Structure 1
Amino acid sequence: MTGQQTERVPTALQGQYDAITALTDPFCEAHLNTEYRDLCRRMVAKLCRKRPSPLATGKPSTWACGVVYSAGRVNFLFDKSQTPTMTAEELCSPFGVSKSTGSAKSTAILKWLNSHQGDPNWTLPSRIGDNPLAWMIQVKGFILDARTAPREIQEEAFRLGLIPYLP
């Protein structure tokens, strides 16, 4: 996809975006799925838009590993009960990165993205319905699961962008 802008990326960082996604795309397609591929593209683009962008320096292979590792962390990729699943070594090895470096880069990426495990903003679309964090809303000071709220509250929460869709 060299030179083709698929996400909004500053021109100065388009080359970094292309270099990193040239590594994440085939990895995700071979070992994970297209949802992970698209999520990794979004993450790389978001990191490119940071001021200053952390992607301006460093090896594309290390960044690619860190991005896939981050997407995996958010979506419980290392949990054997999930599909797909893999170990940290299986993820890092094809990028030529140690699992400690992959983990450290992922920790930094999640910090830059102000993200965490289970973050609805970085949850795979097919898993958003099962992510309880995507459904928590505050109504008159009480936190509740929007899926159990009356329909009019659900509609208002959806209109405000607080929940991903109407249950």
Structure 2
Amino acid sequence: MAKLTHSKSVPKAMQATYDTITALTDAFCRDHLDDEYLELARDMVAALCRKRPSPVSSGQPRTWACGIIYVLGQINFLSDKSFKPYMTMADVCAGFGVGQSTASAKAQVISRALDAHRMNPKWLLPSRLEKNPLVWMAEVNGLLVDLRDMPREVQEIAFEKGMIPYIPADREQG
């Protein structure tokens, strides 16, 4: 599994694009979502800016910003009333002044470029990591195991390799 931390570094040639798109996602997240979405959106913009060629190098910044929130919303169940924050995808699109078909198309491009799907913990809100079973699964000697059930030594190795966000044994101790 990829590390659960993200880099916000972008190539100099993409810095203005990064700044423009993050200004839009930051404002939207501050007004309608929360800081977790804001940070993940920044991470996603940076990841897209690092792609060669970068999909965000052309097109309207607001459509990319909308597509980013759309993807993050899908992954994190934004339109499920049992989760907070809650917002429909139609409301996300309206907030950016982008049509749903355009936002959906951008979301597909983003999802393909970053392997961003519901079961990929890389794009999950940090507060939801603990409940995603894929964060804790690893193959050990050909068997799929839950690292939360493994000895502390194995958890430490997994943490050092960036496979898990924290050592579960530390949380259990208090």
**Fold agreement, TM-score > 0.5:** yes
Q: Which residue of 2 aligns with 1:137?
A: 138
For residues 138 and 40 of structure 2, the distance between their equivalents in structure 1, rounded to whole angstroms, comes to 24
Deviation at 1:85, TM superposition (A): 1.2
RMSD over aligned CA atoms reads: 1.4
5+ residue gaps, structure 2, are: 1-6, 169-174
Q: Which residue of 2 aligns with 1:3?
A: none
Deviation at 1:51, TM superposition (A): 0.5
Q: Which residue of 2 aligns with 1:105?
A: 106
Q: Report the TM-score, using the length of structure 1 for normalisation.
A: 0.92
Q: Does 1:51 align with 2:59?
A: no
For residues 96 and 160 of structure 1, the distance between their equivalents in structure 2, rounded to whole angstroms, comes to 42
Identical counterparts, % of pairs? 54
Q: Does 1:84 align with 2:105?
A: no
For residues 157 and 14 of structure 1, the distance between their equivalents in structure 2, rounded to whole angstroms, comes to 34
Q: RCO (CA 8 Å, sep 6+): is it higher in 1 or 2?
A: 2
Q: Which residue of 1 aligns with 2:18?
A: 17
Deviation at 1:93, TM superposition (A): 0.4
Q: 3-state DSSP class of the match of 1:138?
A: strand
For residues 95 and 119 of structure 2, the distance between their equivalents in structure 1, rounded to whole angstroms, comes to 25
Deviation at 1:76, TM superposition (A): 1.4
Q: Does 1:165 align with 2:129?
A: no
More displaced stretch, 31-40 vs 120-129: 120-129
Letter of the 2:64 counterpart = W
Q: Sort the Cα spacing of 1:30 and 1:118 in 2 relative to 1 into closer, same or farther, 3 A.
A: farther
For residues 124 and 69 of structure 2, the distance between their equivalents in structure 1, rounded to whole angstroms, comes to 13
Q: Is the 8 A contact 1:75 1:118 kept in 2?
A: no
Deviation at 1:150, TM superposition (A): 2.3
Q: Is the 8 A contact 1:55 1:63 kept in 2?
A: yes
Q: Is the 8 A contact 2:74 2:118 kept in 1?
A: yes
Q: Is the 8 A contact 1:73 1:117 kept in 2?
A: yes
Q: Which residue of 1 aligns with 2:124?
A: 123
Q: Is the 8 A contact 1:16 1:55 kept in 2?
A: yes
Q: 3-state DSSP class of the match of 2:87?
A: coil
